[in-house]
Amino acid sequence: MPTLLSVFGVKPLRIGGTETFARELSLQLGERGWKSVLCFLSEPTKEVKSFLDLPNISFEVLANSTNGNWHARRNLMRMIGEHQPEKLHLHFVSFLNSYSWLARLGSVKEVFFTDHHSRPAGYVPARAPFWKRTAVRVINKPLTKVICVSRYGYECMTSFDLLPRNRFQMIYNGVDLSRVSTDPRSAADFRRRYSIPADRPIVTQVSWMIPEKGIADLLAAARLVLEQNRDVQFVLVGDGAHREQYMNEAVAMGIADRITWTGMIGDPFGEGVFAAADVVCQFSRWEEVFGWMIAEAMAHGKPVIASRAGGIPELITDGVSGHLVHRGDTLAMSHRILELLRNPDLRAQMGCAGCEAVSEKFDLRKNVAQLIETYDIGKPHKMPDREHRSESNEVANPTVREELALDPTIPSGRASDTTNTDPIRKTA
């Protein structure tokens, strides 16, 4: 059976963007009679492994894939020898590594790389120095194609002039619309789980608890909102090294009772994170290459307020599907939150527009099909097994839009949480 080996430099701890991508990719590979080997930094959790339980999937662990040390290179060669993949696809690893050469030495026919990395705030793409261009062209000569997940990412990567432009391709990340549920019970269950009154509006951000995600800005905006309307609950979903620091800051601000810290949630879709939200925020400080959580919120019919940074404006049309604000402008953030909380009709209108945008540009099934076409592995010859869904998640995106119309809402989130912001920084 022909095989694709996908190496993901992330830990599969929850059912997020990376895991849903891996499942949809494997489903479409299975339609064509291909085997999918999914390699992560660690073993998937029980919940994730169950989600990825398809007959053509097998798992591997490459614990050091992000730094590409000797052990990682040796283990990759072992996997290549064992699975004999025709193609290798690298995700969430450095652009400058030796994996592509190792793959070709192991008789892998094609090697692909996806750039998931966000850049520092204020980053300006520029042509790389001659010596870097020369070195990268040698090191990455075996690369077949570089996939960029946004126009912003494409412009960043091509501006370096590291490889010919015809070896870059833009394919957006996507959302599994079949998992979007409009079941009101999931929202009610979420509120009960975290003791949030049924009539209290919820403003949510889903991200790592790190400075680059603008958590301090969200807390500052929350204080301004609560000065005018105390009956609002801010829900921060995710974990990270700075979480305790931010919790202490909320206490010092006197708003701790209106901030809910959920920690990491194994399945944000299934557990009602977006269903319960009235407004979703993403106040990133750095240049997000995409914004997976934004697309997920929009798929649920929720208006999003986000920073005008990186690739985020490609997702949100300002004033149509949400609002864009300048990073760090906490006053504007608070004004936009209050505006949406006061106007349920506007929330519904923006939610509908967001649903339409996701269906048109960020449908995971369509975008993975683009990648399969890039792989050039032929037409499907059998229908995929798409029965692995919970009953509550069988609602397709058009139903979301219909209900909203009647009701007057580099490297997952983790895609942008890597610290390697220089795409030509050597790690392997």
13-27 pLDDT, tens digit each? 999 999 999 999 999
Q: What is the torsional sign of CA 13, 16, 18, 24? A: positive
Q: Are 372 and 29 in contact (CB under 8 A)?
A: yes
Q: What is the DSSP letter of 365?
A: H
384-395 pLDDT, tens digit each? 455 444 433 433
Q: Are 301 and 143 in contact (CB under 8 A)?
A: no
pTM, full prediction? 0.88
pLDDT range class, residue 325, cuts 50, 70, 90: very high
pLDDT range class, residue 56, cuts 50, 70, 90: very high
What pLDDT sits at residue 402? Answer: 39
What average pLDDT does the segment 346-354 reach?
98
Percent of the chain's residues with pLDDT above 70: 89
For the domain spanning 177-362+392-409, the CATH number is: 3.40.50.2000
What pLDDT sits at residue 260? Answer: 98
CA 5 from centroid of its chain's CA atoms:
20
- Among 21-35, 306-320, 363-377, 393-407, which stretch is predicted with the lowest mean pLDDT? 393-407
What pLDDT sits at residue 420? Answer: 37
* Range 246-264 burial, b when 16+ CB lie within 10 A, else e: bbebbeeeebeebbbbbee
What pLDDT sits at residue 392? Answer: 37
Classified by CATH at the fold level, domain 3-170 comes out as Rossmann fold (3.40.50)
What pLDDT sits at residue 143? Answer: 95
**Per-residue pLDDT for 43 more than 50?**
yes
What average pLDDT does the segment 233-239 reach?
97
**Per-residue pLDDT for 177 more than 90?**
yes
Domain boundaries, the chain: 3-170, 177-362+392-409
207-234 pLDDT, tens digit each? 999 999 999 999 999 999 999 999 999 9
